[in-house]
Amino acid sequence: MIIRPEEPEDIATIRHVEKQAFGQPAEADLVDRLRTACPEQISLVVIIENQLVGHILFTPAVIEYEDGAKLGGFGLAPVAVLPTFQKQGVGTALIQAGLEVLQDRKQSFVIVLGQHEFYPRFGFQPASQYQITCQFAGENPEAFMIHLLNNKGFQSKAGVARYHSVFYSL
């Protein structure tokens, strides 16, 4: 298993992986829009036996505190693995690799909206524990989680976490 940054020749295969993993083109379309709108993204792929079988994307996010202060970090979305390679540790390896990159880059936090049974193994906790809510009103509070990579700039007060603006167009 090789995990590496996305390369231009991977784009079509990433679209295929996203569509197969989610059973629809919405996530593939989102990745394409984020790739164009967000040059500071972190996009990783996993290769097994010369085949691209998984993809993960991290894009800039921000916590806006009630007093107007802001803290930058990243949002994880989406992570996709071809169905025939799921439940074999591929997604886990992608998430761990992405978190290592973000930690090496001294990022403050990563947010994710996902399965609350899955993400805690990587250090994610319910964001509600920190009085942080998600920009998407009505989301299951248990599904919205945060992983504090360091405490630099993090404030223990209420705030709203916002994904990259492209997510608003969904």
pLDDT tens digit string along 122-136? 999 999 999 999 987
Average pLDDT, the chain: 93
- Contacting residues for 33 by C-beta, under 8 A, at least 6 apart: 166, 169
Burial class (CB in 10 A: 0-12, 13-18, 19+), 67: exposed
CATH, residue 23 = 3.40.630.30
Question: With pLDDT > 90 as the criterion, what percentage of the chain qualifies?
Answer: 84
pLDDT digits (tens, 9 = 90+) for 6-58: 999 999 999 999 999 999 999 999 999 999 999 999 999 999 999 999 999 99
Q: What is the CA radius of gyration of the chain?
A: 16
Question: Which tokens go with 139?
Answer: 């989301």
pLDDT digits (tens, 9 = 90+) for 82-94: 999 999 999 999 9
Number of helices and strands (H, E) in the chain? 3, 9
Residue 170: the pLDDT is 63
Total number of domains constituting the chain: 1
Distance CA 1, CA 6 (A): 15
- Long-range residue pairs from 94-101, CB within 8 A, at least 24 positions apart, any chain: 94/3, 94/44, 94/46, 94/54, 94/55, 94/56, 95/56, 95/122, 96/122, 97/3, 97/44, 97/56, 98/42, 98/44, 98/56, 98/58, 99/123, 99/147, 99/149, 101/42, 101/44, 101/58
Question: Which tokens go with 138?
Answer: 């009505």
H-only helix segments in 6-157: 11-22, 26-37, 90-104
Residue 141: the pLDDT is 79
Residue 58: the pLDDT is 98
Q: Which domain holds residue 29?
A: 2-169
Residue 138: the pLDDT is 66
pLDDT at 139 over 70: no
Residue 41: the pLDDT is 95
Residue 53: the pLDDT is 99
pTM value is: 0.94
